[in-house]
Amino acid sequence: MKPSVCVHRLPGLKPAWLPKCLIVSTSTTRDQLMQALTSVDCDILILDLDDHDAINTIVAAVEVCGKLVVVGLTGSNDFDLIIKAQRAGCKQLSRKPIDPDDLRAAVLRAAQEIFGAKSTGHCTAVMGPTGGSGSTTLACHLAMEMANQAVGRTLLVDLDFDFGGVARAFDLSPKFTFSDLAEASSIDKGVLETTIVKVDDGPDILARPRNIADAHRVSGETVRETLRVAAESYGHVIMDLPRKLDEITGVGIEMCDRLLLVVQLTVPSVDNAARLLDTLSGEGIGRERVDLVINRFRKKVHSCTVEMVEKQLNLKSIGTIPSDYSSVNRALDAGVLLSPKSAVRTSIADLAQKLLGAAHARSRDSKLGLAKGVS
């Protein structure tokens, strides 16, 4: 979920410098700012600390919106000014003239105060009940959208150790893979950091082992420990699961907060989905942890309808991805992502936004419940 930002008396600040934020207001007077704070939902206020009225503005803004996290920009070395700003409610500082990287870091720290000082470590697993369900394409694009929309880093993990295609989808030839983690004496953040591959403007990727022999040497305990460390290091972890139930898949499902079940509107796909849900239920994993995604949807073509599938599986769909078989295949063959203008990618971006909102709501409710428990 993108934090919403109000900008006050900083005309040189460019929205492109804060790609993971939604700028909801820009103001030049205190009255304009107060009106914005009472009419829009604002998480972060960025303002010029060198303005003569900055301290009073911070006090007034925090009184109007108690949850606000204030980021102040200053070109001054006046220590007294900084102390006064902090006492008034300024939580983060950045320097002037504006350094986009320094500003992004300050805003990220502010966002972490709102969404949790530690990474939420929200884990989402993606699984298709039939071959060719499109789950890997969905997982890759979902991770890309999460990386661009969410606060904090996103990790995409390929748990299809035998035939996974995550690295291929990004045209990567990783130097290190999951099998290298299996060789490590212990797994910590530093070891994980050296194993992942970073994608420009995208997620970090933990690739499947280079060959099937190496894949079979990775234990479920290695996977469990890796995912535990990943949840401490990343805001969001996306797992692409294989179409089989084995120890590795079991650990992935056990460790995930949500399981996205990718289903097509065909009888074999729906039958296998029902079979999988029954098995999960027998292992104590109820439908409340499963989200249904309809993939390769075409209007007036399928013998099954979305409503029929929802009734059959006793699940509500949270996303419908249109069919564009030729474009998806061309992208996979070329090792590139779909165009941002693609209807498939647009639908996945909408799904990512929905999942981010739900994850934030669950985190907020959890904190509220904890607060009630200790009060």
Q: How far apart are CA 46 and CA 55, in angstroms?
A: 13
**Rounded average pLDDT over 287-315:** 91
Confidence grade of residue 302 (pLDDT, cut at 50, 70, 90): confident
Give the Cα-Cα-Cα angle 141, 143, 149 (nearest 5 degrees): 100
Q: How far apart are CA 195 and CA 153, in angstroms?
A: 15
Checking DSSP bridges between strand 197-198 and strand 204-206, what pairing results, if any? antiparallel
User: What is the pLDDT, as a whole number, of residue 373?
Assistant: 39
The answer to whether the beta carbons of residues 166 and 126 sit under 8 Å apart is no
pLDDT at 366 over 90: no
User: What is the pLDDT, as a whole number, of residue 115?
Assistant: 65
**Rounded average pLDDT over 80-86:** 92
User: What is the pLDDT, as a whole number, of residue 174?
Assistant: 94
pLDDT, one tens digit per residue, over 353-362 is 898 877 655 5
368, with CB counted inside 10 A (0-12, 13-18, 19+), is: exposed
Q: For a pLDDT cut of 70, what percent of the chain falls above it? A: 94
Could you give the residue ranges of the DSSP H alpha helices within 256-336? 267-282, 306-313, 325-334
**Rounded average pLDDT over 149-164:** 91
Residue bearing the bigger pLDDT, 157 or 283: 157
The answer to whether the beta carbons of residues 322 and 343 sit under 8 Å apart is yes
Residue bearing the bigger pLDDT, 284 or 211: 211
Q: How far apart are CA 322 and CA 338, in angstroms?
A: 13
User: What is the pLDDT, as a whole number, of residue 117?
Assistant: 44
User: Mind listing the domains of the chain with CATH numbers?
Assistant: 4-115 (3.40.50.2300), 122-374 (3.40.50.300)
User: What is the pLDDT, as a whole number, of residue 341?
Assistant: 87
Mean pLDDT of all residues in the chain? Answer: 89
Confidence grade of residue 192 (pLDDT, cut at 50, 70, 90): very high
User: What is the pLDDT, as a whole number, of residue 364?
Assistant: 46
pLDDT, one tens digit per residue, over 136-147 is 999 999 999 999
Amino acid in position 95 = R
Q: How far apart are CA 155 and CA 203, in angstroms?
A: 5
